[in-house]
Amino acid sequence: MNFRIRKAVKEDAKQIAVVHVDSWRTTYKGIVADEYLESLTYESKEKMWMSIDPETVFVAENQDGQIAGFAGFGPERTKEYGFDGELYAIYLLKEVQGAGIGRRLVEATANELLRKNYQSMLLWVMDENPSKGFYERFLPERIAEDVYTIDGTDHQETAFGWRDLSKLAAALKRKEGSM
């Protein structure tokens, strides 16, 4: 599969919304209540993505211009843990998972944060997320735990962090060469 990683543009909001909703429905099926997953709409997510600065989003698109994944990032939101950057979200359609696209999105994010003079990066992952091991492969430090409530149900989540973003970017680059 040949995918190009690029910065998002406003016109990508509709396709990003589809990836967002569809990936939630496949990733969290059996974890998050079906009623909640079914309540997610392309229209509401498109509206949300239209309001986000596309400079803070990378997309993965195929040769036909179809977006199959995205990553959103920016300043660390809590300011509680001593990290300046944060990977807010990374989602891929189920059919392209395992093809190296997620690693490329994380690498692009790390490099962009470094370019903007960020030194570190934090990421929150729901413990029940079947892709949690993907992040653990890049040897993050376990920073904190919290509870995330979705539709009245509590879900444990873990914050992973990389204090030296340049080391993460170099490790991601090395992994690319070994694939």
pLDDT in tens, 93-126: 999 999 999 999 999 999 999 999 999 999 999 9
Walk across the sheet containing 67-75 and list its strands: 4-7, 57-61, 67-75, 85-92, 121-126, 153-162, 141-150
Range of the domain at 14: 4-177
37 pLDDT more than 80:
yes
Torsion-angle region of 151 (φ positive above 0: left; ψ -120 to 50: alpha; else: beta) = left
- The mean predicted confidence, pLDDT, of the chain is 94
Domain count of the chain?
1
Q: Whole-structure pTM over 0.75, yes or no?
A: yes
CATH number at residue 113: 3.40.630.30
In degrees, rounded to 5, the angle at the alpha carbon of residue 69 between the alpha carbons of residues 65 and 34 is: 125
Query: What is the reported pLDDT for 179?
Result: 42
HEC letters along the chain:
CCCEEEECCHHHHHHHHHHHHHHHHHHCECCECHHHHHHCCHHHHHHHHHCCCHHHEEEEECCCCCEEEEEEEEECCCCCCCCCEEEEEEEECHHHCCCCHHHHHHHHHHHHHHHCCCCCEEEEEECCCCCHHHHHCCCCEEEEEEEEEECCEEEEEEEEEECCHHHHHHHHHHHHHCC
Q: What distance lies between CA 39 and its chain's CA centroid?
A: 21
174 pLDDT more than 80:
no
The partner residues of 70 in beta bridges, in order of sequence, read 59, 91
Radius of gyration, alpha carbons of the chain = 16
